[in-house]
Chains A and B, each alone.
Chain A
Amino acid sequence: MTVKLTNQKAWFLVAPVVVLVAFNAVIPLMTVVNYSVQESFGNNIFFWEGVKWFEEVLHSERFAASLMRQIFFTSVILLIEIPFGVAIALSMPRKGPWVSVCLVLMALPLLIPWNVVGAMWNIFSLPDIGLLGKALNSLGIGYDYTQEPISAWFTVILMDVWHWTSLVVLLAFAGLSSIPEAYYHAAKIDGASPWAIVRYIELPKMKRVLIIAFLLRFMDSFMIYTEPFVLTGGGPGNATTFLSIDLVKVALGQFDLGPAGAISLIYFLIILLTCWLFYTLTMKDEAQ
């Protein structure tokens, strides 16, 4: 490892980034903080409200409900996507022409605009003319995601698995490709079973990428907005109203700036804290 030089002039190099990000992050965040502690009656007249909005939000059933839905959604998709993605990466060919084919086809969903993903699944799942909806109904399963909360949840989760499992696959695959050939040779000579190779070589070597995969999937699924919004609009009723959908309703729909500000900050903090906790806990092992 090379030792870095101390050079305060390096600040000139980071200055453009700092200015741009500060303009984009600090000013809006200050606005949010401002709203969260004030009451407004329009005309830009504000009154100091202290932590009233925070108390209100934390005690509101509506916020609790969308938070619970959010946690449930995120847990389910993590439980499906991470093992599923790892399994696919493990069974993919490691070299040869099929690798490119697999990677290109698998990466495709990642580059489709999120609302198109929603619209696509909308069309795909329609009970009367969508392939999935029609298939399920003809199997005798009463499926209608526009009316039935369980169908709606099923569709939203399946859509997310469709949309994002590839990210886990690509990360896990990158981790696998970086394992030196010698490990496989040594394992062969040691007489290790295929399962032992997965358990003692591949999974440990994938640990770091899997942590990144877990963090990215946690963050992005916790922030999910567009896809379920286009697919179900948060319904039926409020069945699939996740945190972001609820927040946009409060902020841009009802223009309740105070509660919106408070929700925003709590929301942001939850993500930051979870990421930080998870990262510190998993990396503590590494340091030993």
Chain B
Amino acid sequence: MKVLMLGWEFPPHISGGLGTACFGLTQGLAHTGTEVVFVVPRTYGDEDAAHVQIVGCNQVTGPTMPESTRVEEGAASVDTPGPTGVESTSSPHDPPEDPQPLTESWMDPGVTSPRVLAVSSSLQPYQTAESYREWVASLEDSDAPAEARLPSTPATRRAFTAVEQVLAPFGWSEGAVRFVRQTLGGPDRFELSGSYGPSLMAEVARFATAVGELAQRIDFDVIHAHDWMTFPAGLAVARLLGKPLVIHVHASEYDRSGEDVNWEIRDLEEMGIRQADRIVCVSHYTANILKHRYGADPTRLRVVHNAVTHREQREHYHLEKAIEEPIVLFLGRVTFQKGPEYFLEAAARVIQIEPGVKFVMSGSGDMLPRMVERAALLGIARHVHFTGFLRGRDVERMYAMADLYVMPSVSEPFGISPLEAMALDCPVIVSRQSGVSEILTNALKVDFWDVEDLANKILALLRYPALTQQLTEEGRNEIRRVRWDASAQRVVGVYRELVS
């Protein structure tokens, strides 16, 4: 089985959970003998750079659990570099010495899957329309180009036609398509002040065209596209070459934004969900959202839970705790999606009964100022500590110090952080509105809105040591069984439904 896989990022350059998940999945797929060509967008400092770059092949080292510097998508440690791995490509600020042309060498069957190809694009993971504009504007002041040109070849033109057809039903596509046409083989650098403006969606379309061109030079059986940015590319390739398309939903726009969705992104997700041959999602929780919010066809939906990459050697943090009081921890982005206010409401109830308990909120986000005010208003400011943003080892130390970790997320497609806490022997309470709650048995579960029950369970863990022992001892065994090999097997099963 040969797979053309489209992602947002791949180790070592990762800033979010999607890169970590894609790495784990491709490692698992390699063990099944599946050959994967993994395509990511990546910015180059030099506009003459070949638009496709071979990265690392089998040299990439992925993040491990719990060393992963990332906690949640865009959570406490965003933008920290991933664990060191061998990297043969350049960063945006470090022009490549000698870009490698695409040759047949990457097809060498002796090379371990996946082969990672970086397609030149200014797309970055976890962008919003707003952040993209800001980012492009910042480039304007520097010498770095916003775009790399596409070569004007018959293959590119065929790819472009397919992208045009895919995007035709969308209002935003017109500007995007015109933008792509303009950059297609044009001699000049794209003008940032152009009448259609630089837009994230235009770049998504341009990336799709580039992938479409690349796909014509590769032998594969199935396309596998991760999250919305790559859906137009996946659909275009499917249209162009008649190959089956699997899309993989790690998070929907409703998880990211609540009811305040970006409609362009939401519509792009719906297009992928309605047109793909199979839709893989990371939890039953997400499958339900796709059914009810996007009208996904249940017969094409498949749930494949995420897993964790295990590190053999783990540092120990036994002596980390310097204070006597029990610590209850919230760690993640302080945003609506993560439910920080429910954590504080429960804290207020616990403190009435156990005034000696410390509540720690780690992370930053748009709701942080409101949470500081809320703690004061609840009269528990003395008991609640805000650490701000934690990175790398500090994240692990925080888990190791905590007596229990609470993830009260309002909507969490999967949520890897409880597994990281459990790996450090920290018992966890997770909301039932999370994908990870579906695979965990050695975790306490609450509905995020039921702060009474959350407080009850926090108190139970503080008062009944047998419960903590039970959860940590059994939890340690449980997370060892959460392996990417099993998830990859399920994904292969999905491929086999499409490729005989």
- A and B: interacting chains: no
